[in-house]
Amino acid sequence: MAEPEAKKQQLQEQFYNQSIDTVREELDTSLDGLTPQDADKRFAEYGANALAEGKRKSNLMRFIDQFKDFMIIVLLVAALVSGFVGHEWADAAIILAVVLINAIMGVIQESKAEEAIDALREMSTPDAHVRRGGQVLTIKSEQLVPGDVVLLEAGDIVPADLRLTDSASLKIEESALTGESVPVDKDVATLEGDDIGIGDRTNMAFMNANVTYGRGEGIVVGTGMNTEVGRIAGMINSAEETTTPLQTNLNQLGKILTVLILVIAAVMFLVGYFLHGEAPLDMLLISISLAVAAIPEGLPAIVTIILALGTQKMAKRNALVRKLPAVETLGSTDIIASDKTGTLTQNKMTVEQMYYWGKLHPASEDIPLDDDALLMMNLANDTKIQGDGKMLGDPTETALVQFGLDKGFDVREQLKQWPRVGEVPFDSDRKLMSTVHQLPDGRFLVAVKGAPDQLLERATQVELGKDDIQPLDDTRKQAILDQNMDLAKQAMRVLGMAYKFVDALPDPLDSDTVENDLIFAGLVGMIDPERPEAAQAVAKAKSAGIRPIMITGDHQVTAEAIAGRLGIITPGDDAAVLTGAQLDDMSDQDFEKNVSKYSVYARVSPEHKVRIVKAWQKRGKVVAMTGDGVNDAPALKSADIGIGMGITGTEVSKGASDMVLADDNFATIVVAVEEGRKVFANIQKAIQYLLSANLGEVLTLFIMTMMGWDVLKPVQLLWINLVTDTFPAIALGVEPTEPGIMKRKPRGRNSNFFSGGVASSVIYQGILEGALTLGVYLFGILHPVHTSQGDIHADALTMAYATLALIQLFHAFNVKSIHQSLFTVGFFRNKAFNWAILVSTLLVGVTIVVPGFNGLFHVRELDLYQWLTVLSAGVLMLVIVEIIKFVQRRMGKE
């Protein structure tokens, strides 16, 4: 993509030592933001807000790269020499053609693989909230231009360099720029001096930094390469994380195979030349051809393509893979640790019960509008009510505002009289949030809501009626806690409300100064129904040997009730609930020892998630972990598969994840695991197919040479390699799911593409292919249809060629499952595969049956009897492998 030449007139000034007004004028914008037209104009002028990418390889470069392979060069030179010396120009031409086609296919494969990886990256560009023409819009951060007004909140990734214009408890973590991992407090005050380091520019926010706390706003002063990261990073590496661990594994194996095959080729050459007196050039050509055919250099690209096709399938099913290795790892998942709210449940909160003035009332009852519980739950609330009555905000909070409106209490009116002047935002560690309001009489009201247990620790009094405030003694406290427990047992999320009056605005405004000495006002119990598909997905995961684990900030009793309904804990099993506090009391060793006892974690904070991941990993398990908040990022990173939430997730958490759920749905994780298992199995199939075929080729040629028999011609071997390798291998990569794939145990952390019987299958099946091919050759010699020795040998060699090619295509059916019978898996369920086999068969067939063509390939027409011999070998290949699989299944059962 040609980047529009980004405007060179750089905004080089230091913005931190200029007042907001100056910055605003300088960038010709207002706090209402740019007009959309203005934004478009600037976009044309400045270009996209993206870091430049490293140079891309052109297709021509890729094509040329295909010939960097030493073997290919030797092959071409040898072909040319044989053309000159032996006047075998037809051979040389075919070899050249095959090499060219091979190179073109290589280019296509590589660019397909890269396209797929591009698509992954495209998907992961973050969103930004921007104000334009007075309207708040969500746009791709690439669309930002200098002068835009950007809104920040906890969990956002700063989308460009900003001069802050507003901040409320704003904290930003800038370690990527400064190396300092402690979040920096930000405000809007203009700084003095012009020599202030990046880490100290407290009124600026820099691209790619993480907002960890609070809220803010700022004017974009730099985009794309004209940002601090742009200057530092220079270029982003476009090649990151494109090879997966198992691919690396495979590459290593590839190197070993290469050496092995070269040794075999060398031995072949020496034996053929010295012992059997073959022409050296012929021997060289066939040895090199063997090396070219048998070295599986296309394998990594094929694996990438299969993985990439897997990501497309997953995307259709709402699992957006951000990092290719995740596809591979997903299939091996042992543990799915999932947040409760929104993932297992719908995150549609509805108030069911309310407790105030010492009594519980169903939500259907009328409520006195002057009760302070109702007031506080509306005040300590970030919900925005839009013009059309639609509510924006956290479902827990919108439910409360909705409840108020339903009862006839409109918080908007209240806020006009009691404006909010301060806040201590909610965080999942404290499990509280507070707002401070200016009262007409000059005093301030502190409104607090949050987890009842937390709240009661900070309350000293309780409201028991209108203007009836009593000390919160132990009996009263116990009564509230009992009530809390009762609601929780009914699977409700319970929030408590409290308040106090103060004479002056606390300074500094934080939890310690605000959230103490409170008057307890009441409780509210909310139901968040399970997702309808969740229980089934839990059952499916369990039947696949995967342990679902629920993690929640909610009360343990609520958690237990919901986990019970979902089947995460079942009455019989001893899987227990562990709370964050209990976890805090456990040593790492203790926890590791006991981790398998717990399926539910309640009242935990994000830090606990990291311990849960690590403990399971220590036990050798592959852990998938969900997360949505900014504090979840470390857990998402340490999990084998970090799973972000597409709808409710913060940008920071999405950035830290390997996969994002477009629908936030637990069931989608299970679907993705199933896809991951399928993709893994299909890669194994492609590998098993290719390597057994190659082994068959090597054995056939090696033994032919050793025995001094006729040896297949280079063009024959190269043609077999060209037409029977790639198509079926890629087609095997899109095989439908094998029956019962979610009834097996996870494959285990240390498994690789050769685990589970693939290695041994490659070996015995390769030997079988070679043996049958040689058998057909000998059969052709021993049961000739002609009498002249020349005819007999030419026929036998043609039969061997046909067999070696077609037996691979027959064998492709075997490979559809490592252990299951072809009759279980089905012969023709994969359209792409059927086509691949058909095309490959035709391409082999034409070289034999089309007169003239067969001359080029040094083969002859076969009669029916000979064809039947060839086809019998193919059928035998099917039958023998079926029998061996049958025996293996029998032995496996015992």
Ligand X SMILES: Nc1ncnc2c1ncn2[C@@H]1O[C@H](COP(=O)(O)OP(=O)(O)OP(=O)(O)O)[C@@H](O)[C@H]1O
Nearer to ligand X, 431 or 747 (CB): 431
Residues linked to residue 468 through DSSP beta bridges, in sequence order: 465
Residue 552 found at the interface with ligand X (CB under 6 A): yes
Handedness of CA 439, 441, 443, 449 (dihedral sign): negative
Site for ligand X in 407-436 (CB under 6 A): 426, 428, 431-433
Indicate whether 171 belongs to the interface with ligand X (CB under 6 A). Answer: no
DSSP reduced 3-state for 728: helix
Helices 534-543 and 666-707 pack at an angle, to 10 degrees, of: 30
- Tokens 């300074």 locate to 507
* Single residue of 156, 161, 339, 769 touching ligand X by CB under 6 A: 339
C-alpha 17 chain-centroid distance: 42
Neighbours of 581 (CB within 10 A): 13
Catalytic center residues: 339
Q: Which two tokens stand for residue 398?
A: 């919108």
Q: Which two tokens stand for residue 512?
A: 């310690």
- Per CB under 5 A, contacts with Ca ion among 714-733 are 721, 725
- Out of ligand X, Ca ion, none, which partner does residue 721 contact, by CB within 5 to 8 A per kind? Ca ion
Closest CA to 795 of 711, 854, 850, 861: 861
Among 171, 437, 449, 608, binds ligand X (CB under 6 A): 449
What stretches of 109-259 adopt beta strand conformation (E)? 127-132, 135-140, 149-153, 161-173, 184-185, 204-205, 210-222
Q: Which does 621 bind (CB under 5 to 8 A by kind): ligand X, Ca ion, none?
A: none
Are 342 and 623 spatial neighbours (Cβ–Cβ below 8 Å)? no
Cis omega (within 30 of 0) for bond into 508: yes
Place of tokens 């270029």: 235
Q: Which of 553, 733, 780, 874 binds ligand X (CB under 6 A)?
A: 553
Query: What distance in Å separates the CA atoms of residue 198 and residue 506, rounded to the nearest whole number?
Result: 31
List the single partner that 296 binds among ligand X, Ca ion, none, CB under 5 to 8 Å by kind.
Answer: none
State which residue, 306 or 690, has the beta carbon closest to Ca ion: 690
Distance CA 20, CA 25 (A): 9
Pick from 132, 340, 476, 816 the residue near ligand X by CB under 6 A.
340
- Give the residue nearest to ligand X (CB): 553
Interacting span for Ca ion (CB under 5 A) from 46-54, 665-673, 693-701, 839-847: 693-701
Q: Shortest distance, CB of residue 496 to ligand X, whole angstroms?
A: 8
Residue 167 interacts with which of Ca ion, ligand X, none, CB < 5 to 8 Å by class: none
Closest Cα to residue 712, out of 78, 277, 286?
Answer: 286
Q: Does 334 bind ligand X (CB under 6 A)?
A: no
Site string for ligand X, 267-286 (x = CB under 6 A): --------------------
Q: In terms of CB distance, is 432 or 807 closer to ligand X? A: 432
Binding partner selected for residue 156 from Ca ion, ligand X, none, CB under the kind-specific 5 to 8 Å limit: none
The total of other beta-carbon atoms located within 10 Å of residue 664's CB is 24
Q: Does 293 bind Ca ion (CB under 5 A)?
A: yes
- Nearer to Ca ion by Cβ, of 288 and 293: the residue is 293
Q: Which two tokens stand for residue 413?
A: 């009116």
With beta carbons less than 8 A apart as the criterion, state whether 215 and 154 touch: yes
Q: Where are the beta strands (DSSP E) in 111-173?
A: 127-132, 135-140, 149-153, 161-173
For ligand X, the binding residue among 173, 174, 228, 554 (CB under 6 A) is: 554
For the bound state, the minimum distance from the C-beta of residue 348 to ligand X, rounded and expressed in Å, comes to: 13
Q: Does 184 bind ligand X (CB under 6 A)?
A: no
B/e letters for 192-208, b = 16+ CB within 10 Å, e = fewer, are: eeeeeeeeebbbbbbbb
- What are 69's two structure tokens? 């392979």
* CA separation for the pair 498, 446 (Å, rounded): 8
Those residues whose C-beta lies under 8 Å from the C-beta of residue 804, and which sit 6 or more positions away, are 696, 697, 700, 712, 720, 769, 773
From residue 435, how far is each of 420, 655, 741 by CA, in Å?
A: 7, 30, 52
Number of CB atoms found within 10 A of residue 435's CB: 24
Candidates 69-77, 546-554, 808-816, 819-827: pick the segment binding ligand X (CB under 6 A): 546-554
Using CB under 6 A as the binding rule, whether residue 450 contacts ligand X is answered as: yes
Contact 306, 730 (CB under 8 A): yes
* Binding-site partner at residue 694 among Ca ion, ligand X, none, CB < 5 to 8 Å by type: Ca ion
Q: Which does 450 bind (CB under 5 to 8 A by kind): ligand X, Ca ion, none?
A: ligand X
Contact range with ligand X by CB under 6 A, out of 36-44, 389-397, 679-687, 850-858: 389-397
- Kindly state whether residue 528 participates in binding ligand X, applying the rule CB under 6 A: no
Among 556, 694, 830, 869, binds Ca ion (CB under 5 A): 694
Going by the DSSP 8-state scheme, the letter that residue 742 receives in this structure is: G
Encoded tokens for 319: 């699992």
Window 477-496: residues binding ligand X (CB under 6 A) = 493, 495
Amino acid at 722: L
Residue 765 contacts which entry, ligand X, Ca ion, none (Cβ below 5-8 A, type-dependent) = none
Of the candidate residues 161, 352, 394, 735, the single one contacting ligand X (CB under 6 A): 394
Q: Count of residues binding ligand X (CB under 6 A)?
A: 19
Q: Which stretch binds ligand X (CB under 6 A): 158-166, 321-329, 339-347, 666-674?
A: 339-347
Judged by CB under 6 A, does residue 397 bind ligand X? yes
If one asks whether residue 451 binds ligand X (CB under 6 A), the answer comes out as yes
What is the nearest approach in angstroms of ligand X to the Cβ of residue 106?
47
Block residue for tokens 């024959």? 716
C-alpha triplet 634, 635, 641: angle, nearest 5°:
115
By CB under 6 A, tell whether 401 contacts ligand X: no
Query: Residue 890 and residue 893: Cα distance in Å, rounded?
Result: 5
394 binds, among ligand X, Ca ion, none (CB under 5 to 8 A by kind): ligand X
Please, are residues 407 and 369 in contact by the beta-carbon 8 Å criterion? yes
Q: Whose Cβ is closer to ligand X: residue 159's or residue 452's? A: 452
Task: Please say which residue, 213 or 753, places its beta carbon nearer to ligand X.
Answer: 213
Near ligand X by CB under 6 A: residue from 141, 396, 847, 866: 396
664 is a site residue for ligand X (CB under 6 A): no
Residues at the contact surface with Ca ion, assessed by CB under 5 A? 293, 694, 721, 725
Residues at the contact surface with ligand X, assessed by CB under 6 A? 339-341, 394, 396-397, 426, 428, 431-433, 449-451, 493, 495, 552-554
